[in-house]
């Protein structure tokens, strides 16, 4: 067993162990964990400072997960958009390829919480081969997003085999891995892993940090190794009520990501996934946060605020309104709220 596997093996997966660690009343939470599995590895557990803090909320089951009767289980209609198992084909030029049903921790807000870590997500070598065949037979696919679960929880050998098979398809130009490991189990990013990943360029990794307290010397080191191997890093952050839904937290997070060489890519409006309704924030709150980023922070630190449209209709960018009036003179406000104009036609002088 590798060191990271030993750490993962010592994860808390049962409510009584969680209760022993934190104390407090966890009555009834075993019912939640029976539906949506619990896993908090010792590394992430150490980052939680006290019950109810932003990292706790991401990791510890909540009775509201079972009380949610508003949201659909599969809001993005991934079932309908799946031509063969493990493939979600929504956009013409890229597909999602779900190769792992395990994660370094099970996030309570996960969009695929109905599947991840449960027997409902069955992944076999044969199904992976069928997915690769599908990609080979559809040359319009230029980019493959290898995701899950977390693909970096597979063994080095399995990761290498999947990436090698994808690289053998001439129409696949870019491979993108989605992994929360740099945040939730940074010791998984071993020199050996990085060495195998960099054989498969052009390779991008989008990771997922939600709070400045997740940025530690360990996660910084994981990102440094990946970036030094020439892998561009992005972050897909989710806006979560009580976790990061205030301007100061998001500003600090975006700046810190840039410092550890991770480009903020998306800031997601929370999906309508069943069991996660208590994390949702109003879209307006996200737009207000974005207004506090544009111009105030380096453009490199500003993500695209996006909503993944229900029913699998794709990601919609949401931008605060700066234009006040379209016409011969465009009237708009700048990042400080000052009104400015720009002559569209006629003699500007």
Q: Which of 149, 212, 234, 286 binds ligand SF4 (CB under 6 A)?
A: 149
In the numeric block, which tokens belong to residue 329? Answer: 């003179």
CB of 140 to ligand SF4, least distance (A): 26
Query: To which residue do tokens 């892998």 refer?
Result: 231
Question: Helix 247-259 vs helix 283-291: angle between axes, to the nearest 10 degrees?
Answer: 60
Question: Helix 156-167 vs helix 125-136: angle between axes, to the nearest 10 degrees?
Answer: 20
User: Using an 8 Å Cβ cutoff, are 75 and 26 in contact?
Assistant: no
CB of 204 to ligand PLP, least distance (A): 10
Question: SS in 3 state form for 237-305?
Answer: EECCCCCCCCHHHHHHHHHHHHHCCEEEEEEECCCCCCCCHHHCCCHHHHHHHHHCCECCECHHHCCEE
Closest residue to ligand PLP, Cβ-based?
90
Site string for ligand SF4, 74-103 (x = CB under 6 A): -----------------------------x
Tally helices (H) and strands (E) across the chain. Answer: 13, 12
Q: Which does 274 bind (CB under 5 to 8 A by kind): ligand SF4, ligand PLP, none?
A: none
Q: Which does 301 bind (CB under 5 to 8 A by kind): ligand SF4, ligand PLP, none?
A: none
User: Using an 8 Å Cβ cutoff, are 66 and 31 in contact?
Assistant: yes
Binding site for ligand PLP (CB under 6 A): 88, 90-91, 94, 96, 145, 315
User: Which residue, 47 or 163, has its beta carbon nearer to ligand PLP?
Assistant: 163
Q: What is the DSSP letter of 339?
A: E
In the numeric block, which tokens belong to residue 196? Answer: 């195998």
Binding segment for ligand SF4 (CB under 6 A), chosen from 67-75, 144-152, 313-321, 330-338, is 144-152
User: Which residue, 226 or 291, has its beta carbon nearer to ligand SF4?
Assistant: 226
User: Which residue, 223 or 291, has its beta carbon nearer to ligand SF4?
Assistant: 223
User: Which residue, 111 or 134, has its beta carbon nearer to ligand SF4?
Assistant: 111
Can residue 180 be called a binding residue for ligand SF4 (CB under 6 A)?
yes
CB of 84 to ligand SF4, least distance (A): 20
Residues 264-323 contacting ligand SF4, CB under 6 A? none
CB of 184 to ligand SF4, least distance (A): 6
- What is the Cα–Cα distance from 186 to 5, expressed in whole angstroms? 12
- What is the Cα–Cα distance from 29 to 277, expressed in whole angstroms? 17
- What is the Cα–Cα distance from 139 to 144, expressed in whole angstroms? 12
Can residue 185 be called a binding residue for ligand SF4 (CB under 6 A)?
no
CB of 272 to ligand PLP, least distance (A): 14
Q: Among residues 258, 279, 263, 256, which one has the least CA distance to residue 70? A: 279
Q: Which does 149 bind (CB under 5 to 8 A by kind): ligand SF4, ligand PLP, none?
A: ligand SF4
User: Which residue, 101 or 206, has its beta carbon nearer to ligand PLP?
Assistant: 206
- What is the Cα–Cα distance from 249 to 22, expressed in whole angstroms? 25
CB of 246 to ligand PLP, least distance (A): 25
CB of 86 to ligand SF4, least distance (A): 14
Burial of 213: CB neighbours in 10 Å, binned 0-12, 13-18, 19+: middle
Q: Which of 33, 116, 205, 302 binds ligand SF4 (CB under 6 A)?
A: 116
User: Which residue, 148 or 234, has its beta carbon nearer to ligand SF4?
Assistant: 148
Residues 199-258 contacting ligand SF4, CB under 6 A? none
- The backbone torsions φ and ψ at residue 305, rounded to the nearest 5 degrees and listed phi first, read -80, 125
Q: Which residues bind ligand SF4 (CB under 6 A)?
A: 103, 106-107, 110, 112, 116, 148-150, 180
């Amino acid at each position: 067993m590798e060191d990271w596997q030993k750490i993962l093996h010592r994860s808390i997966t049962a409510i009584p162990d969680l209760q022993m660690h934190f104390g407090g009343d966890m009555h009834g939470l075993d019912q939640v964990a029976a539906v949506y599995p619990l896993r908090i590895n010792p590394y992430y557990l150490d980052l939680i400072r006290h019950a109810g803090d932003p990292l706790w909320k991401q990791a510890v089951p909540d009775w509201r997960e079972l009380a949610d009767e508003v949201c659909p289980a599969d809001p993005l209609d991934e079932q309908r958009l799946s031509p063969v198992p493990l493939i979600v084909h929504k956009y013409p030029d890229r597909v999602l390829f779900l190769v792992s049903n395990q994660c370094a921790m099970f996030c309570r807000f996960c969009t695929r919480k109905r599947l991840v870590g449960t027997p409902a997500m069955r992944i076999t070598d044969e199904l992976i081969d069928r997915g690769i065949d599908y990609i080979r037979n559809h040359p319009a696919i230029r980019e493959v997003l290898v995701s899950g679960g977390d693909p970096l929880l597979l063994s080095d050998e399995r990761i290498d085999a999947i990436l090698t098979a994808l690289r053998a398809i001439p129409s696949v130009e870019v491979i993108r891995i989605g992994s929360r490991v740099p945040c939730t189990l940074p010791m998984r990013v071993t020199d050996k892993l990085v060495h195998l990943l960099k054989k498969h360029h052009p390779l991008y990794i989008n990771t997922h940090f939600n709070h400045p307290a997740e940025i530690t010397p360990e996660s910084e080191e994981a990102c440094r190794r990946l970036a030094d191997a020439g892998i561009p890093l992005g972050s897909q952050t989710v806006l979560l009520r009580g976790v990061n839904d205030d301007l100061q937290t998001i500003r600090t997070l975006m700046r810190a990501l840039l410092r550890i060489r991770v480009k903020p890519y998306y800031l997601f409006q929370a999906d309508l996934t069943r069991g996660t309704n208590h994390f949702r924030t109003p879209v307006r709150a996200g737009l207000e946060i974005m207004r506090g980023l544009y111009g105030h922070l380096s453009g490199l630190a500003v993500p695209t605020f996006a909503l993944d449209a229900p029913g699998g209709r794709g990601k919609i960018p949401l931008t605060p309104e700066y234009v006040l009036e379209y016409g011969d003179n465009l009237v708009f406000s700048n990042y400080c709220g000052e009104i400015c104009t720009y002559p569209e036609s006629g003699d500007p002088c």
